[in-house]
């Protein structure tokens, strides 16, 4: 192991226009405070760090071009035994390119990094693989699993690194659009009522939206539900979806997969409605109602004086999963 020879870990944080990606602070904390911020607006991003940092390097290299970035950053990173990136969209895309250029194994989707053991979430976060590596590695860390200690010291002055992006074939960024105003209510809402695969179809979600509105909440969902087209993709909460931080979170028919709950922030009141009393979402809940979620939704609607619309409660439309047979 090369752990003794040279600095053991560094966090590599892709930055866009001064905005840190989700999980940036946690990744730096997990890396023990050494960070390289790469992208555009890195100085501005460095000033926004809220965790203690031992060293901050910046590479002002513009908009992402991951092939080029990996080639350019590799020499800077070679001394480090572990290169940690957040498993945010940009981190996920850069990490394998670094691993390939540097000929290191990639440990993707870690919930914890230690030099002797790394835990990787698999099967949608239902299980953890505990692995160890013989040599240097590249790791992506799931955002939201760790938490961070607040900063206690002044930040070190960022040290700009001279990096030149080699010519290569990468996609070109045309534009970055701000968050969809259609989801701003969700991201900022203090009350969220969300539905998962335990509801039956688009009809249930139309009713859910109205019931949520009646209690002053925004409607959220899980990715499974968005993938089936029952709600707009902008409505799903989680690592790869919208990050929220409400006071009240009501989950209807949601199992509580890691990628979902890590987008939840720290709600003060959690209610979970599920037929399975032992799923993770129920374990998180202050009030765990073991019952049929569609039934409860309808009962709630009646109590709040909401007429179910014609389409509510309709079963899942045939082929809603869009699934072709795999067994011809």
Residues of span 47-86 touching ligand FAD by CB under 6 A:
none
130 binds other proteins (CB under 8 A): yes
- Is 255 among the residues that bind ligand FAD (CB under 6 A)? yes
Binding partner of residue 134 among other proteins, ligand FAD, none, CB cut-off 5 to 8 Å per kind: other proteins
Cα–Cα dist 89/74, whole Å: 20
254 binds, among other proteins, ligand FAD, none (CB under 5 to 8 A by kind): ligand FAD
Q: Please give the size of the binding site for ligand FAD, defined by CB under 6 A.
A: 30
Contacts of residue 174, Cβ cutoff 8 Å, sequence gap at least 6: none
Contact 265, 237 (CB under 8 A): no
Nearer to other proteins, 143 or 201 (CB): 143
324 token code pair: 């072709």
The contact pattern for other proteins, residues 205-244, with x = CB under 8 A and - = no contact, is: ----------xx---------xx-x---xx-----x-xx-
- What residue has token string 């799903």? 236
- The three-class DSSP label of residue 195 is strand
Return the number of other C-beta atoms located less than 10 Å from residue 105's C-beta.
14
Sort residue 6 into left (φ over 0), alpha (ψ -120 to 50) or beta.
left
Residue 114 interacts with, from ligand FAD, other proteins, none (CB under 5-8 Å by kind): none
For residue 93, which phi and psi values (nearest 5 degrees)? -85, -30
Q: Which stretch binds other proteins (CB under 8 A): 1-9, 21-29, 31-39, 194-202?
A: 21-29
R_g of the chain computed on alpha carbons:
22
Interaction partner, residue 185 (other proteins, ligand FAD, none; CB < 5-8 Å by kind): none
Q: How far is the CB of 317 from other proteins (least distance, A)?
A: 12
Q: What does the block give as tokens for 78? A: 């070679």
CB of residue 157 to other proteins, shortest distance in Å: 25
Contact 98, 39 (CB under 8 A): no
Contact criterion met (CB below 8 Å) for 312 and 204: yes
**175 near other proteins, rule: CB under 8 A:** yes
DSSP 258-288: HHHHTTS---SEEEEEES-TTSHHHHH-SEE
Among 101, 274, 298, 301, binds ligand FAD (CB under 6 A): 274
Task: Find the binder of other proteins among 258, 264, 281, 312 (CB under 8 A).
Answer: 258
Cα(42)–Cα(167) distance, integer angstroms: 22
Looking at residues 10 to 29 of the shown chain, list those that interact with ligand FAD (rule: CB under 6 A): none
Give the nearer residue to ligand FAD in terms of CB position, either 78 or 126.
126
- Binding to ligand FAD in span 205-244, by CB under 6 A: 222-225, 236-241
* 72-91 positions binding other proteins, by CB under 8 A: 88-90
d(CA 203, CA 289) in angstroms, rounded, equals 22
2 binds, among other proteins, ligand FAD, none (CB under 5 to 8 A by kind): none
Nearest to 239 by CA among 145, 127, 135, 163: 145
Residue 285 contacts ligand FAD per CB under 6 A: no
Residue 292 within binding range of ligand FAD, rule CB under 6 A: yes
**Residues of this chain that bind ligand FAD (CB under 6 A):** 124-125, 196-198, 222-225, 236-241, 253-255, 257, 259-260, 263, 273-276, 279, 292-294
């Amino acid at each position: 192991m090369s752990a003794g020879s040279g600095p053991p870990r560094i966090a590599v944080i892709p930055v866009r226009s001064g905005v840190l990606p989700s999980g940036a602070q946690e990744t730096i904390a997990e890396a023990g405070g050494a960070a390289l911020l790469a992208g555009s607006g890195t100085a501005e991003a460095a000033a926004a760090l809220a965790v203690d940092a031992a060293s901050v390097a910046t590479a002002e290299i513009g908009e992402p071009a991951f092939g080029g970035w990996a080639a350019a950053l590799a020499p800077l990173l070679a001394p480090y035994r572990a290169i940690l990136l957040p498993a945010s969209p940009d981190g996920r895309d850069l990490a394998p390119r670094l691993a390939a250029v540097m000929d290191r194994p990639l440990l993707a989707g870690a919930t914890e990094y230690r030099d002797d053991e790394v835990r990787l979430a698999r099967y949608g976060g239902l299980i953890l693989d505990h692995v160890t590596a013989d040599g240097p590695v590249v790791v992506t860390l799931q955002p939201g699993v760790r938490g961070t200690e607040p900063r206690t010291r002044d930040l070190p002055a960022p040290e700009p690194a001279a990096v030149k992006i080699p010519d290569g074939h990468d996609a070109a960024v045309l534009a970055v659009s701000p968050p969809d105003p259609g989801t701003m209510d969700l991201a900022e809402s203090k009350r969220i009522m969300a539905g998962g695969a335990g509801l039956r179809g688009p009809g249930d979600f139309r009713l859910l939206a109205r019931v949520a509105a009646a209690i002053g909440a925004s409607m959220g969902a899980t990715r499974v539900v968005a993938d089936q087209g029952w709600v707009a993709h902008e409505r799903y909460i989680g690592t790869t979806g919208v990050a929220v931080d409400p006071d009240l979170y009501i989950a209807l028919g949601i199992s509580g997969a890691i990628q979902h709950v890590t987008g939840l922030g720290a709600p003060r009141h959690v209610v979970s409605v599920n037929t399975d009393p032992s799923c993770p979402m129920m374990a998180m809940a202050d009030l765990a109602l073991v019952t049929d979620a569609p039934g409860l939704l309808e009962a709630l609607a009646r109590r709040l004086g909401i007429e179910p619309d014609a389409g509510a409660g309709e079963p899942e439309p045939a082929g809603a999963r869009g699934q072709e047979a795999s067994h011809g």
